[in-house]
Structure 1
Amino acid sequence: MKQLRSDARNRAHQIWMPSKEKQPQSRRTHRISAQDSTWPRRELRGPTSKGKLPRMSATWLSRPRTLRTRWNGLHFQVPLLAEVYGIEGNIFRLKINEETPLKPRYEVPDVLISKPSTVRLLSCSTDTGSLVLADGKGNLKCHITANPFKIDLVSEEGVMMSINLLGQLYFEHLQIPLKQRTTKENEEDASTDTSQQNQEDLGLWEEKFGKFVDVKVNGPASIGLDFSLHGFEYLYGIPQHAESHQLKNTGDGEAYRLYNLDVYGYKIHDKMGIYGSVPYLLAHKLGRTLGIFWLNSSETLVEINTEPAVKYTLTQMGPVAAKQEVRSRTDVRWMSESGIIDVYLLTGPTPSDVFKQYSSLTGTQAMPPLFSLGYHQCRWNYENEQDVKAVDAGFDKHDIPYDVMWLDIEHTEGKRYFTWDKKRFPNPERMQELLRNKKRKLVVISDPHIKIDPDYSVYAKAKEQDFFVRNHEGGDFEGVCWPGLSCYLDFTNPKVREWYSSLFTFSAYQGSTDILYIWNDMNEPSVFRGPELTMQKNAIHHGNWEHRELHNIYGFYQQMATAEGLIQRSKGKERPFVLTRSFFAGSQKYGAVWTGDNTAEWSYLKISIPMLLTLNVTGISFCGADVGGFIGNPEAELLVRWYQAGAYQPFFRGHATMNTKRREPWLFGEEHTRLIREAIRERYALLPYWYSLFYRAHVASEPIMRPLWVEFPDELETFGVEDEYMLGSALLVHPVTEPKATVVDVFLPGPNEVWYDTKTFAHWEGACTVKIPVALDTIPVFQRGGSVVPIKTRIGKSTGWMTDFPYGLRVALSTKGSAVGELYLDDGHSFKYLHEKQFLHRKFSFSSGVLTNSCADESGHYPSECVVEQISVLGLRKQPSSVTTHSSDGNDRSVAFAYCARKATLTLEKLSLNIGTDWEVHIK
């Protein structure tokens, strides 16, 4: 970057500083030049999996290079435009783009929920070559240096983050195609010895992937930038990888890759990208949490290098050498194949603040229908209507609740989506009525590939309207997937999404009913004979954008269109449920995701926990892993442990591939059936708590499944824990993930906390590790002192049966003898909670021997006849002499109670306290 000239600096102020009559703006601009360039190259590696195409991966071979263009024998640097914005909520945005590109570069649309509300950045001081910008409060500042280009983000405690501290900014500019350059220019350029250079450049314009050739029309266009996080050693985020929750240092060729791919039986502890990607990471240390959201949907790599803190370092040699403390620092380098640099810096300071800042950009978790929080039963494939009926009856016979039956691709006519196999499923409406009578639902699959068949109406209509992705020659892109030769709907086109949404109407989707919901699979997109089992990067989308620009957002768009289709089907009245395998930042607005084709091994059960924690802290709370493992046949012990873990994770589905043995919960002997039944019933008992957590995620951006560091941000011991987690703020869950385990070490955080075993009511003080004996029927779950957890006291065949079932309250007292909690309640399926305020939000509090039920949100109203019939108070040190209830109607009643001194537990039963009215319970 050349030194800023005063005229350039003044011009930027003239352009972007508002006049008194205009709305204040937040942007500052400077011209810079790209200096360092890293070139992406890809290599194929790995054996061929049986029944699958070769697995491929990517490495980035880097070589520093000054970005210059040879033109008429002259060298010149390409000017870049850097813009800094302040956004409401302590967010800064940095955009870097070519000042005058040959054509527009791709900027990711549709992810941000609205145009961010900007705040005015004030120029605190300025001198030649530097600029200091501050937000209105003055406690956050951007120090921008011109030569060399660097930005420091500074708080009252000092520099938090430096951008381009390592000088790794690079920006490959778009170039005129080689074949269009004139003979004269070539002759003039030939006057210099550039043959080797031209040969190298030509190789970067075309790259080979086996039989595929990726032609870059305007040459390579990758971008990159480094961020140095001062004092930070713990980083999290950038899903999806089968890796630890805490991000690891990367070495040569080990960068975290964000590139959505269909990877069957993915390897664990691997930084390769799999089905989804969220280019967003969080950094945490004592006293501060930061976020970096790199808004780019092309193939992206992230390199991480942490230098741990050194207590003292010598600043000079000799007997009087001074000693100085050196803070830790983590350097993060983002690299994307194309697009622009568009990065949001979320400055916290707390984890909660960062979650809200990110959701203010990309949206919060959608409020799901209640049924989707129950248990889902799936396999590839339930054979026919008789099979569905038998499996459904099996759950009732064995007294196991479940909510949703799933059908994979075999339910269709030759893998033609929106159709039914007439032999296997001749009467789908009748089958759905069977499920409806049990108050259950059906989910069917709908993938993005469309079988090439002129007699298939979906194909014919899409073909007629040019709704498919095109190849680089202009024809429809054709690839092989489940139906054979297929075309791929271009979901980046708003008209395609609108049309696709219309396919879910009952008139268009013959055989569907209002209890049918959707599963989007294979939407990375998966192309069996494509490079890395996906679409060629030079395929063409709406707006003439190449697939390389938007690959990671393709599945996001399909889920968006599907969710909108289900909403339109109900004329805007009913909430959708859509599960997707591929996802991007903002996918939380449209439904749920899962971790893909895992394997029936203990290691995959164990890795599912950090994978789900990472999704939760990056905004996607409605997530889960296939219970039992999709691939292979789990032993009975593993299956039981997986059900126990899945029951305490947000999305709870059993699933298996077609060549596995049947594994419905009652097929492993009565004892294992009993254990699985108990685990699923525990899930259903906690549904009031689950639903309340989803409401908090929806309105307040609070993750549902939380790593310990989120709930205990000032306890260093929690920062690396990933084998246990908080479910909301009240429950700590430590799934058993080792075979034949007889004891687990459970870390109970918080020096001033007390923790209660939810089964035995035994309690421990916090800030210690406890050895908990476990048998096969043990699920180590602990309730945090100071919390109130609402439960259902009875379990039905599905969530629909439990609407009017009574509640219980489990009150766990803190060391100070107090507790708080909440309950959210609505009709569980419609948007009336949003449009008509039909909901109840109740607050429970216990203090000085009084438990109070009061209204947490006066704007809500919802008629409910449900009652609280049972209350347990854990940690009550003294047996009470009396217990009475005081209702809002003025009636006071004496209540029978049972007290266990050994467990310090008070139990109240046979109560009849309406959940929606104010009341008190007095314990004396």
Structure 2
Amino acid sequence: MRVITLLLNSILPGTILLSHAFKAHDFKTCSQSAFCRRGRALAQRASENASWSSPYHIDAETVSFSPSQSSLTARVTSFLYPEIHFQLQVDILKNGVVRVRMDEIGGLRKRYDEAASWALISEPALRDDDLNWVGFKKGKKGGVVKAAYGGVELAISYSPLKITLLRNGREEVVLNGRGLLHMEHFRNKPNQTDEGEERPSELEGEGGEGIEGTREQTVLKEPANGNAWFEGEEKDGYWEETFLSWTDSKPKGPESLSLDVDFPNHGHVYGIPQHAASLSLPSTIGANPHFSDPFRLYNGDVFEYDADSPVSLYGSIPLMHAHSAESTVGIFNALASETWIDILGSPTNTSIATHWISESGILDLFILPGPTPDDVFAQYASLTGTTPLPAHFAIAHHQCRWNYVSSDDVRTVSKRFDEDDMPVDVIWLDIEYSEEHKYFIWDEKTFPDPVEMANDVASVGRKMVVIIDPHLKRTSDYPVFAEAEAKKILVKKANGEDYEGWCWSGSSAWVDFFHPDSWEWWHKLFSLTGKTEGWRWAKSTDTIFIWNDMNEPSVFNGPEITMPKDSIHYGGWEHRDVHNINGMLYHNQTSQAVMRRGTELKRPFVLSRSFFAGSQRFGAIWTGDNLGTWEHMAVGIPMTLSNGIAGMTFAGADVGGFFGNPDVEMLVRWYQVGAFGPFFRAHAHIDTKRREPYLYNEPHKSMFRDILRLRYSLLPMWYTAFRETSVTGLPLLRPHYVVFPKDTRGFAIDDQYYVGSSGLLVKPVTSPGAETADVYLAEDEVYYDYFDRQVYRGAASGTTVTVPAPLSKIPLLRRGGSIISTRQRPRRASPLMKNDPFTLTIALDRSGTSAKGDLYLDDGETYAFEKGELAWRGFRISPEHNKKNSPLVLHSEDLVTLHKGNDVVDGVQIKSWDPRNAFAQSIARVYVERIAVLGLEKEPKSVNVVGGKGLEWTFSKGTGAKGKKTGVASALTIKAPGVLVVEDWQIRIEL
């Protein structure tokens, strides 16, 4: 959430209000982080030394393969420390992804190796067709071994160690090509001599099992040729590090991992959210770096973050796409510790070099070979999963504030939306609903009737969301804390005692969600049925959903506003090892708890601020504590696009900005931005003025109403788009490089985007006083203005068109060749739209004859769709036969039946699927009330249902889809066509 004012009299009796503001100096730069300094210094030495070469090499005697040869293992050594051994494993997976793992073997301690197990949906399967490695000969010490498969070639060089993915002889991804690989081995802390000089001590401990078994105790000696050229003269921050007033004890010593990952033939990289930066990531090193610091991945509670910065924010996904007109590739670097990433682009924008520096963990990197953006999304989704189909209400309009102050306030807000005919589905409560910030317990003074309040809100089709933060107030009269303490499932300090920090609750403890004993206990807290062992949240309903905030974790009195790195989690792992996963585990267990709280499994909605790779499986996220400024409005778009690229597609930014009081022009524009984001929530800080949309005067009140109604009319399109992303892993919001991967002019565009496969092109206005907007069209296709049917024509080489954008209008274009289904009846909340009729709008492509689209429907709340309780319709228009002036026929088809060639579609077993399933029957009478066809070249002679009656229609003359003319498009409007949504039918348009 945020830290502004901490009410200390809720912490220590008799104290006063404390203003607590986070600034940039609260967070480290690379120069203040010892392992980042060491990593950057290593790269600097390499760049200045023409003879630089990696010291790591494969011991040829140890190379072996799996039976199918899809997995190679070998011992790796470094001539810096010949006594230290590493095991390399390279797996070629079923979908062509390459997994590269390396870990120290026989070492003093174990490196953290569980990050991938939390991120992945399952252990990836190896490729099962036999591979042939060319160049391999047992004991051969030099050279390269190669394996070709699936259109690519994997090459592994022995000395120095280098791994390259090639396509058609062209290097796509290179690991350790610049020799920056460095896995700092475990060592004992040096003793002090009488003169105060350090000297190496003997290794202690049992060691670990590796290729050669246990390494015997020995004395580490400096290599004969010295290691200063590689590691540097100074042992910088090996055993202890101080930042401001905090000291990190570093009991395990240095264990950082450095690796260069280069994309020699790709000029743009994207991903590694979350940062307030452009979509195409700029250079951090080189002649003209945009940022002087590397991009950082270290989940943090960053107060009033800058709108252009490499500073890490609330989430961390170590996924990067590299793109060129020839191909798209990606890498997923499964590390959960603090990570810094330098980026260097070439002057000609044809290659990118990156350097990843992480504090701890093993090397566990996945190369995603592409070659298209869609392929990379599918490959990543096969590893970490997709965004599941959300509850339908979750994609509608949410209204939040810190804080609605009472149950009567909540009722009033709901009533005011109704009085001004503005739809909203969810009303949110921030931390002040709870007694002394003891989550799950209502403050009876202000919320005396929480169940009745929730039921009143639900009576008009709405839901509520309340916040449950991870910090537990340390007091014996708080049953949640008391039970967690008794179960010994709290995070520990380095000395083994329960960790104590400060947050909204005052003196606080944190549940260790890495501890398996915490999981079922946490689920039971949310139970709505029967008796459970221990305390449960009795004053709740199944229409109350959850918001997980502060789960980085945010600790007011901790280093960098978070938990000390030497805190201990289950299994003995330090917080430094698991920091970026922490919030995801909390999100995961809360999501499971909400799903299981009743007698029937229902789709949960849980919003999280912190996230990691795989968090998309558990719910939505938002971009945190933004400011009410034009700059923050603008940067929220590439931030949301970047999250989607990294799988976290159910995302959005706080509409209006969390801080500040935006003027009405800015707020109208921000609602336009929010209405075209996957997660659409208005939210504001406790010190801001009330800014609910019904509070404004005309004409702005009507502008807000129109925006909200536009979102609701398009909910069928959004839900259909969510279905697609739940299956394919494609993002909901698609930047130009995803839709047009060969159009170089669009690779850096991040201020306009397409929504799913709908054909909608959105260009939000994010600057004051604008009356027009320039929209880039990347193709030779016709586009239609969504509101007034104005025709715009693209070009094969790309062109920019100027679109009117007065304050009342967001630039929104329909791509030729698309069909969009909408519901046009105004309702107060989306559940009330279930039986409303549909309007189909057909935007003919530049041939003037073709278009297609689809519509997906289910009950919107249960998992019955997995058993086939759904309707999935396809709509297409095309010429009846291949002759001039052929009639056009609009088809409605059942898409599940059309996929009978597959065993499973969207989890539905095709062979047993019944198109007249219970859900389809429940909407059997839902009809199409209107059909509009844009871009016909001439007025039809007749319109009729094939095999049925002639239809009533009107025709507005205008510009056709063909040719070069612009102007207002022609429009055929078919009123009351008399066709049902769940049935097959055809409508013929005689020309």
Alignment TM-score, normalising by the size of structure 2: 0.83
- 2:841 corresponds in structure 1 to 810
Task: After TM superposition, list the pairs within 5 Å mapping 1:821-860 onto structure 2.
Answer: 821-834=853-866, 836-848=867-879, 849-858=888-897, 859=910
| CA drift at 1:293 | 0.3
- 2:711 corresponds in structure 1 to 683
Q: How far apart, CA to CA, are the structure 2 residues paired with 1:487 and 1:403? A: 34
- 2:66 corresponds in structure 1 to 17
Letter in 1 for 2:439: Y
- 1:331 corresponds in structure 2 to 353
- 2:478 corresponds in structure 1 to 456
| CA drift at 1:909 | 1.4
Letter in 2 for 1:916: V
| CA drift at 1:688 | 0.4
CA contact (8 A) 2:266 2:352 kept: yes
| CA drift at 1:198 | 13
- 2:883 corresponds in structure 1 to none
| CA drift at 1:489 | 0.8
Q: Deviations over 1:750-806 (max 9, x none)?
A: 1x2111100111111112111122211011000100111111121211001100011
Deviates more, 1:490-499 or 1:621-630: 490-499
Q: How far apart, CA to CA, are the structure 2 residues paired with 1:117 and 1:202? A: 41
Change (3 A) 1:883 1:144: same
| CA drift at 1:309 | 3.5
Q: Does residue 264 in structure 1 map to residue 313 in structure 2?
A: no
Residue 423 of structure 1 aligns to a residue in which SS?
coil
Q: Does residue 878 in structure 1 map to residue 935 in structure 2?
A: no
Q: How far apart, CA to CA, are the structure 2 residues paired with 1:186 and 1:898? A: 90
Q: How far apart, CA to CA, are the structure 1 residues paired with 2:604 and 2:280? A: 33
Q: How far apart, CA to CA, are the structure 2 residues paired with 1:892 and 1:557? A: 58
Change (3 A) 1:192 1:520: closer
CA contact (8 A) 1:497 1:558 kept: no
Q: Deviations over 1:152-172 (max 9, x none)?
A: 211124221221111000010
Q: How far apart, CA to CA, are the structure 2 residues paired with 1:11 and 1:555? A: 40
Change (3 A) 1:297 1:198: closer
Residue 631 of structure 1 aligns to a residue in which SS?
coil
Change (3 A) 1:185 1:411: closer
CA contact (8 A) 1:26 1:86 kept: yes
Q: Does residue 733 in structure 1 map to residue 762 in structure 2?
A: yes
Change (3 A) 1:572 1:494: farther
1:746 to 772, 775, 778: 775
Q: How far apart, CA to CA, are the structure 2 residues paired with 1:261 and 1:154? A: 37
Q: Deviations over 1:446-492 (max 9, x none)?
A: 01100001110000000001111000011011100001010011111
- 1:132 corresponds in structure 2 to 145
Q: Deviations over 1:666-717 (max 9, x none)?
A: 2221211110110011000000000000000001112111101101111111
1:249 to 264, 276, 283: 283
- 2:37 corresponds in structure 1 to none
Q: Does residue 897 in structure 1 map to residue 897 in structure 2?
A: no
Residue 912 of structure 1 aligns to a residue in which SS?
strand
- 1:296 corresponds in structure 2 to 335
- 2:118 corresponds in structure 1 to 110
Q: Does residue 799 in structure 1 map to residue 830 in structure 2?
A: yes
Deviates more, 1:76-85 or 1:619-628: 76-85
> Unmatched 5+ residue regions in structure 1?
19-23, 36-65, 69-75, 311-327
- How many residue pairs get matched? 853
Q: How far apart, CA to CA, are the structure 2 residues paired with 1:623 and 1:583? A: 11
2:405 to 383, 399, 423: 383
| CA drift at 1:918 | 0.2
1:240 to 270, 274, 291: 274
Q: How far apart, CA to CA, are the structure 1 residues paired with 2:615 and 2:555? A: 22
CA contact (8 A) 2:804 2:811 kept: no
1:910 to 958, 976, 983: 976
CA contact (8 A) 1:152 1:162 kept: yes
| Identity rate, percent | 40
1:285 to 324, 334, 348: 324
1:231 to 251, 265, 287: 265
Change (3 A) 1:333 1:186: closer
Q: How far apart, CA to CA, are the structure 2 residues paired with 1:693 and 1:623? A: 14
Q: Does residue 29 in structure 1 map to residue 45 in structure 2?
A: no
Task: After TM superposition, list the pairs within 5 Å mapping 1:146-225 onto structure 2.
Answer: 146-178=158-190, 200-201=234-235, 203-225=237-259
CA contact (8 A) 2:955 2:970 kept: no
Letter in 2 for 1:724: Q
Q: Deviations over 1:185-227 (max 9, x none)?
A: 7699999999x99995484201112332211222110001112
- 2:683 corresponds in structure 1 to 655
Q: How far apart, CA to CA, are the structure 1 residues paired with 2:981 and 2:222? A: 87
Q: How far apart, CA to CA, are the structure 2 residues paired with 1:713 and 1:203? A: 44
Letter in 2 for 1:212: W
CA contact (8 A) 1:757 1:763 kept: yes
CA contact (8 A) 2:601 2:862 kept: yes
Q: How far apart, CA to CA, are the structure 2 residues paired with 1:335 and 1:33? A: 20
Residue 204 of structure 1 aligns to a residue in which SS?
coil
CA contact (8 A) 1:224 1:341 kept: no
CA contact (8 A) 2:939 2:955 kept: no
CA contact (8 A) 1:419 1:510 kept: no
Q: Does residue 515 in structure 1 map to residue 543 in structure 2?
A: yes
Change (3 A) 1:896 1:772: closer
CA contact (8 A) 1:303 1:334 kept: yes
Deviates more, 1:92-101 or 1:631-640: 92-101
Change (3 A) 1:180 1:799: farther
Residue 467 of structure 1 aligns to a residue in which SS?
coil
Deviates more, 1:689-698 or 1:177-186: 177-186
Task: After TM superposition, list the pairs within 5 Å mapping 1:306-385 onto structure 2.
Answer: 306-309=345-348, 328-385=350-407
Q: How far apart, CA to CA, are the structure 2 residues paired with 1:908 and 1:192? A: 83
The two structures, once aligned, show a CA RMSD in angstroms of 2.3
| CA drift at 1:389 | 0.8
Letter in 1 for 2:449: N
- 2:97 corresponds in structure 1 to 91
Letter in 2 for 1:124: V
Q: How far apart, CA to CA, are the structure 2 residues paired with 1:579 and 1:828? A: 18
- 1:21 corresponds in structure 2 to none
Residue 857 of structure 1 aligns to a residue in which SS?
helix
CA contact (8 A) 1:505 1:569 kept: yes
Letter in 1 for 2:325: L
| CA drift at 1:279 | 0.3
Q: Does residue 406 in structure 1 map to residue 428 in structure 2?
A: yes
Q: How far apart, CA to CA, are the structure 2 residues paired with 1:436 and 1:881? A: 50
Residue 573 of structure 1 aligns to a residue in which SS?
coil
Letter in 1 for 2:177: L
> Unmatched 5+ residue regions in structure 2?
1-53, 203-218, 286-290, 530-535, 880-887, 898-909, 960-968
CA contact (8 A) 1:747 1:769 kept: yes
CA contact (8 A) 2:629 2:657 kept: yes
| CA drift at 1:82 | 1.5
Q: Deviations over 1:866-916 (max 9, x none)?
A: 111111111111100100013xxx544433333333531111112331111
- 1:721 corresponds in structure 2 to 749
- 1:575 corresponds in structure 2 to 603
Q: Does residue 476 in structure 1 map to residue 520 in structure 2?
A: no
- 1:52 corresponds in structure 2 to none
Residue 439 of structure 2 aligns to a residue in which SS?
coil
| CA drift at 1:179 | 6.0
| CA drift at 1:571 | 4.2
CA contact (8 A) 2:942 2:950 kept: no
Letter in 2 for 1:209: F
- 2:14 corresponds in structure 1 to none
| CA drift at 1:174 | 1.2
Residue 247 of structure 2 aligns to a residue in which SS?
strand
Residue 119 of structure 2 aligns to a residue in which SS?
coil
Residue 33 of structure 1 aligns to a residue in which SS?
strand
CA contact (8 A) 1:233 1:308 kept: no
Alignment TM-score, normalising by the size of structure 1: 0.89
CA contact (8 A) 1:294 1:344 kept: yes
- 2:928 corresponds in structure 1 to 868
CA contact (8 A) 1:25 1:118 kept: no
CA contact (8 A) 2:595 2:602 kept: yes
Q: Does residue 593 in structure 1 map to residue 621 in structure 2?
A: yes
CA contact (8 A) 2:57 2:160 kept: no
